[in-house]
Amino acid sequence: MDITLAANWLPLFFLFALGLSIMLYVVLDGYDLGVGMLLNSVDDHEKDLMIASIGPFWDANETWIVLGVGILLIAFPMAHGVILYDLYLPSAIMLMSLILRGVSFDFRVKVNIEQKPLWNLLFFLGSFGATFCQGIMIGRVILGLQPTLYAWLFAILVGICLPFGYSLLGATWLILKTEGELQTKAIGWARKNLFMTGVCILIISAATPWVSQEMFLKWFDFPNIIFLSPIPILTLLCFYLIHRRLKKIEGGHPMREWAPFLLTVAIFILSFIGIAYSLFPYLVLNQIDIWQAASATESLWAIFWGTVIVLPAILAYTFMTYRIFWGKAKPLTYY
């Protein structure tokens, strides 16, 4: 293949792989982080069932962030250095929070009964800390890592809003995986977080073009505003359908309990598409595009063949895990 052609399309391939990894991490680890943030709303028995609903999946879900950071490091080393230099502190806190979650997951059932509430609290704090830091990181990337005060305030705003979105994912996951009183509580959590997620999306959508002229032109210049209109329209439709489905499930119609979760996933995917469009072709907005950041073409070729083997393997493993453990959650046991 012509080396010039390869130098053009290989960075696009790795950008797609990077985006897929991040999106899958946000959706899959997002719901189990959401369950962790809802943990302190119930009694001890229901806490065990909530943990059981994510038990077979949560560790594997974090594979996607490892893959995403690996792709960024190997395929786009220049951008990796710039991004992680700026995000060093929130990244470090996020990793410590994820470690705390892992430790708490095991210790909460192995310590004396008097100490169990402490580890439940630490599991909640680890979930919230990781989510808040991820929101800050997303906000920093959206505005191109600008060092200004308003850019940091925007990042903090995203950090405050993301827990509501993850909690909505977690609540709809619990609707799918539980039944009885806990499912009823999950419907209530989903309804509250659906409203707050809608408010947060509205605030962030309004704030982004206000703080970035580049974003304003990409979204509101004609004919862009026409071509992009399906994104907000479909997002509103998803909110409406979730609201309707929650009412039906609460009214005693358990069919399609998966619908609120999949529609919430659709909201996250639509939001991700909007962010991806806003940033493309940059990895650091207006500073480093994917071709500037890419490794040498010869290196990308070697990485390419590894990726086309590893990525489908992880997808297959993820699908198999969810297929095996499909159905309602059972009480958690440790041997």
Q: What is the mean pLDDT of each run of 10 residues along the chain (335 residues)?
A: 68 93 93 93 84 84 88 91 91 93 84 81 94 95 89 94 96 92 92 95 88 80 86 95 89 77 96 92 90 89 88 89 82 59
pLDDT of res. 290: 92
Residue 329 lies in a domain: no
Enumerate the β-bridge partners of residue 284. 288
- Give the structural domain span for 150: 11-324
The total number of structural domains that make up the chain: 1
Residue 6 lies in a domain: no
Closest CA relative to residue 161, chosen from 132, 140, 191 = 132
pLDDT of res. 7: 72
pLDDT of res. 333: 60
pLDDT of res. 188: 93
Residue 330 lies in a domain: no
pLDDT of res. 213: 77
pLDDT of res. 240: 95
Residue 3 lies in a domain: no
Residue 68 lies in a domain: yes
Residue 329 φ/ψ, nearest 5 degrees: -70, 145
Strands 288-289 and 282-284, how do they pair?
A: antiparallel
d(CA 51, CA 35): 8
Alpha carbon 261 to its chain centroid, in Å, reads: 14
Residue 333 lies in a domain: no
pLDDT of res. 4: 65
- Residue 281's alpha-carbon distances to 51, 271, 277, 322, in angstroms, are 40, 17, 8, 34
d(CA 67, CA 62): 9
Residue 331 lies in a domain: no
Q: Is the pTM of this model over 0.95?
A: no
Segment holding 129, helix H or strand E: helix 116-142
Contact 211, 151 (CB under 8 A): yes
Please list, residue by residue across 232-255, b when 16 or more beta carbons sit within 10 angstroms of its beta carbon and e when fewer do.
eeebeebbeebbebbeebeeeeee
Contact 75, 11 (CB under 8 A): yes
pLDDT of res. 203: 93
- Residue 318's alpha-carbon distances to 35, 56, 248, 295, in angstroms, are 19, 11, 30, 29
Sequence letter at residue 102: G
Residue 194: Cβ within 10 Å count = 25
Output the six-digit token pair for 126.
């680890």
pLDDT of res. 332: 63
pLDDT of res. 106: 81
pLDDT of res. 33: 95
Closest CA relative to residue 84, chosen from 150, 13, 140, 10 = 140
pLDDT of res. 60: 81
